[in-house]
């Protein structure tokens, strides 16, 4: 027969009466479980002072042990109670007063004909049993033997309440800056200067064909008439007037070519200027106070506002006319007579109407914006607002790379400013 002295931890964490196969564990068909007074005291203490699952388990074990005292059995298990063991401080090799020592002492003092085994899930108890020359067994830590580790509903509720209390104690605002899409990294296109040379060359060649220089050629059939008479009939212009006209035609074509290049380039630039929009989101658990948001834009990339989108004069030059001196004077007098003037009521003067042609295009030559500062009211937690920057912000990139936007938010509810970074990835 084997007498198994059961440790407290086994009763609290293992299925002692409904799960453990004692015959197999101790390799004996006749097994008696022995409970010493120290184990009873510990169970009694846990049922009154512990919390949650341990307290409930201690109460159920205490009821089972109480029923054994009244002669009842569970699953055919034999269980008895032994007397308290006495520890002699002069001979004890362990620290005086420990519960494990009293279980060891009770086992050694127990008188029986059979094998005595200490059964526990405590490595320290195994050491003490060997020191006392007692057998030791530890049951397998399997779902069959061990009680469920799943917390009770009461324990779950307590944990939930603890989390809520901790969250309440640590409530604070946490405003952060993101791009409008909620990301901290966005991609923008790189501007590559296009090659308009062939297109411009073809355009210039067409202009030369459509606007040829004037050249006087004396007809061969009029050889009997003097040169002065022929010129008066078919070419009333002097050599100086022809030379001036031809020079103006060349300048006129050059001006048209330059204007075409400006317009083509502006149209391409328009497609590579990207507006940057921001949002503020409060990821904290507390509303913010009044906020000041500072955004510092990176170097190496062109940052402009909407004032860099302005009208460009694309008025074509007046086409030169081949005229005599007298024709020029008459034309000037006609222009003066037909000129329309308007009255400027602000400056109290007449001004000539502007018949020029304008188109609106971007002119991002250099950065005009280094930073932005915006004041904001309080923002509730878990809320997001779009950041409205005066004149708006636009980016124009000539070089590839990652460009860092640094930001800082001064929030009245936080002692230190909250800082962060956003990335402009030029690809």
Last residue of a domain, one of 155, 183, 203: 155
Q: Would you say 166 and 41 are in contact if contact means Cβ atoms under 8 Å apart?
A: no
In a domain, 348, yes or no: no
Cα 239 to Cα 250: distance, rounded to the nearest angstrom: 17
Same domain membership, residue 63 and residue 186: no
**41 shares its domain with 99:** yes
Which CATH number belongs to the domain containing residue 402 in this structure?
Answer: 2.60.40.10
pLDDT of the residue at 96 = 45
pLDDT in the model for residue 38: 92
Instruction: Kindly state whether residues 184 and 84 are assigned to the same domain.
Output: no
What per-residue confidence (pLDDT) applies to 303? 96
Give a yes or no: residue 79 inside a domain.
yes
Range of the domain at 391: 171-191+272-316+361-427
C-alpha distances out from residue 17 to 56, 125, 410, 424, Å? 16, 21, 64, 68
- Same domain? 179 vs 56: no
Domain end among 155, 183, 218: 155
- 96 lies in the same domain as 178: no
Establish if 197 belongs to a structural domain.
Answer: no
- The number of domains in the chain is 2
Q: Are 396 and 297 in contact (CB under 8 A)?
A: no
Is 112 domain-assigned?
Answer: yes
- Considering the domain architecture, whether residues 145 and 177 belong to the same structural domain is answered as no
Which one of 155, 182, 216 terminates a domain? 155
From the number of C-beta atoms within 10 Å of its C-beta (0-12, 13-18, 19+), residue 41 rates as middle
Tell me if 342 is assigned to some domain: no
235 inside domain:
no
68 and 186 inside one domain:
no
Shared domain for 128 and 185, answered yes or no, is: no
Residue 33 and residue 76 in one domain = yes
Same domain? 7 vs 148: yes
Residue 234's pLDDT is what? 78
Measured distance CA(223)–CA(221) in Å, rounded? 6
CATH code of residue 38: 3.40.50.1010
Would 419 be classed as within a structural domain?
yes
Q: Is residue 114 part of a domain?
A: yes
95 and 179 together in one domain:
no
Q: What are the distances in angstroms from CA 312 to CA 191, 205, 352?
A: 20, 25, 20
User: In whole angstroms, what is the distance from residue 294 CA to residue 374 CA?
Assistant: 7
pLDDT at res. 17 = 87
Q: Which residues of the chain have pLDDT under 50?
A: 96-97
Is the pTM value of this prediction over 0.75? Answer: no
Q: Which of 147, 88, 100, 145 is nearest to 125 (CA)?
A: 100
Task: Please indicate, yes or no, whether residues 75 and 20 belong to a single structural domain of this protein.
Answer: yes
């Amino acid at each position: 027969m084997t007498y198994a002295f059961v440790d407290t931890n086994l009763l609290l964490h293992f299925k002692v009466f409904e799960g453990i196969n004692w015959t197999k564990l101790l390799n004996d068909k006749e097994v008696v479980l022995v409970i010493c007074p120290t184990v009873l005291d510990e169970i009694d203490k846990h049922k009154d002072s512990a919390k949650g699952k341990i307290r409930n388990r201690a109460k159920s074990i205490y009821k089972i042990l109480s029923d054994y005292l009244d002669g009842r059995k569970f699953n055919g298990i034999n269980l008895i109670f032994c007397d308290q063991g006495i520890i002699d401080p002069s001979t004890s090799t362990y620290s005086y007063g420990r519960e494990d020592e009293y279980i060891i002492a009770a086992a050694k003092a127990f008188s029986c004909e059979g094998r005595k085994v200490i059964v526990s899930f405590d490595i320290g108890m195994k050491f003490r049993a060997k020191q006392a020359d007692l057998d030791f067994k530890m049951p397998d830590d399997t779902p069959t033997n061990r009680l469920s580790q799943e917390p009770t509903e009461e324990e779950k509720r307590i944990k939930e309440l603890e989390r809520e209390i901790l969250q309440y104690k640590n409530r604070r605002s946490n405003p952060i800056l993101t791009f409008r899409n909620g990301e901290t990294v966005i991609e923008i296109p790189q501007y590559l200067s296009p090659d308009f040379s062939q297109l411009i060359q073809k355009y210039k060649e067409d202009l030369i064909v459509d606007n040829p220089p004037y050249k006087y050629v004396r007809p061969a059939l009029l050889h009997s008439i003097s040169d002065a008479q022929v010129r008066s009939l078919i070419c009333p212009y002097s050599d100086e007037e022809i030379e001036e006209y031809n020079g103006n035609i060349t300048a006129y074509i050059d001006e048209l070519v330059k204007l075409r290049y400006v317009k083509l380039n502006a149209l391409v630039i328009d497609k590579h200027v990207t507006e940057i929009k921001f949002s503020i989101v409060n990821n904290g658990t507390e509303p913010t106070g009044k906020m000041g948001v500072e955004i510092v834009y990176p170097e190496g990339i062109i940052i402009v506002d909407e004032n860099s989108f302005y009208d460009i004069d694309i008025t074509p030059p007046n086409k030169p006319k081949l005229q005599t001196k007298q024709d020029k004077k008459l034309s000037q007098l006609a222009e003066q007579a037909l000129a329309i003037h308007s009255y400027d009521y602000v400056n109290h003067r007449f001004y000539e109407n502007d018949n020029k042609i304008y188109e609106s295009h971007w002119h991002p030559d250099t950065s005009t914006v280094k930073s932005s500062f915006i004041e904001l009211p309080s923002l509730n937690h878990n809320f997001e607002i779009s950041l409205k920057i005066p004149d708006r912000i636009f980016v124009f990139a000539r070089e590839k790379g990652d460009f860092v936007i640094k930001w800082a938010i001064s929030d009245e509810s936080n002692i230190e400013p909250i800082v962060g970074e956003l990335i402009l990835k030029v690809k």
